[in-house]
Amino acid sequence: MEAPILEFYDDEPYITQEKLANSSHPHLKECRKRLVESVIKTAIITWLDKESECVFDILKDSELIHTVYGNSSGRIPVYIHKSYLLVFASIGSPMAAGIIEELAYYGIQNFIAYGTAGCIDKNFDSETMLVVERAIRDEGTSYHYLAPSLYIETDLTITNAVENVLVRHGIKYEKGTTWTTDALYRETAKRTSKRLEQGAVAVDMECAGFAAAAKRMGLRFGQFLFFSDRICGNDGWEWMQKEDSSGDMKAKLIPLGVEIADELEKIVNL
């Protein structure tokens, strides 16, 4: 059986530049000119509703400059926050790759993401951060960027920057593997058991898409995760966060993301 997802055309050009250059949005050319001429090279990506109360104070000191294609419900806002971009992402690997492609057009070279994930390893301390070293490619988007493989690695330089900052703040973390899937309700017992055998401790919906698009384009991508729920295989599912607490945590971690971006720029001497 031929499976289209396994087709890979390594020599085909990108269409991003042509699509954005011919966009009907009048502010895009000015936005590109401004960012290309600026010193902004790093984007911090988080999953937050920009209308939620926990981000109001942050956005007072930020400037909306662009929106990235998101999904049928709208577009993803991008802000200048301090000397970086702050991206309010949506769910899924198609969105993830779109963020990489569009912001690369504006000169962004480094992408630091953080958000929630499900814990699938009952022996893993779910109060501990996971610094992602690699993702299992159980979704579709990454196969349009790289030849088929089980894993895609994140960028070691960003991983080192994340580690340095977490150690500085005394935050517990471990490095490891996440399982990226695009089937929201198919984290079934047999499939979860197989991913555990392959080394995963978490399940998410974006990391492989981010990492593959970044690697294909010669850019840096890294991610750290904290846990919102636990997938227990035959033992069912358990929600670990109180109402809105994960959103509050993501907002509180924005300064940590900025510090990681600062650390990255020291390491690579941007």
Among residues 105, 131, 118, 130, the alpha carbon closest in space to that of 23 is found at: 105
* 8 belongs to a structural domain: no
pLDDT at position 140 over 90 = yes
Asked if residue 9 is part of any domain, the answer here is no
Residue range 233-261: mean pLDDT, rounded: 74
Identify the pLDDT of residue 27: 67
Distances (CA, A) of 220 to 216, 217, 250: 10, 9, 22
Which pLDDT score is estimated for 4? 86
Region 229-252 average pLDDT: 66
pLDDT band at 113 (very low <50, low <70, confident <90, very high): very high
Average pLDDT over residues 39-56: 80
Would 2 be classed as within a structural domain?
no
Q: How confident is the model at residue 32 (pLDDT cuts 50, 70, 90)?
A: confident
* pLDDT tens column, 158-212: 999 999 999 999 999 999 999 999 998 888 889 999 999 999 999 999 999 999 9
Q: Kindly report the CATH number assigned to the domain that includes residue 54.
A: 3.40.50.1580
- Into how many domains does the chain fold? 1
Does residue 171 fall inside a structural domain?
Answer: yes
What is the helix (H) or strand (E) element at residue 48, kind and residue range?
A: none
Per-residue confidence (pLDDT) for residue 1, from 0 to 100:
60
Does residue 218 sit within a domain?
yes
What does pLDDT average to over the chain?
86
Check: CB of residue 158 under 8 Å from CB of residue 110: yes
231: containing domain: 14-268
In this structure, is residue 3 part of a structural domain? no
User: Residue 71 has what pLDDT?
Assistant: 47
Could you report the per-residue pLDDT of 80-93, keeping only the tens digit for each? 988 999 998 988 99
Cβ neighbours for 105, distance < 8 A, ≥ 6 positions apart: 16, 17, 20, 32
In a domain, 69, yes or no: yes
Query: Residue 30 pLDDT > 80, yes or no?
Result: no
Share of the chain above pLDDT 70, in %: 86
Does residue 7 form part of some domain? no
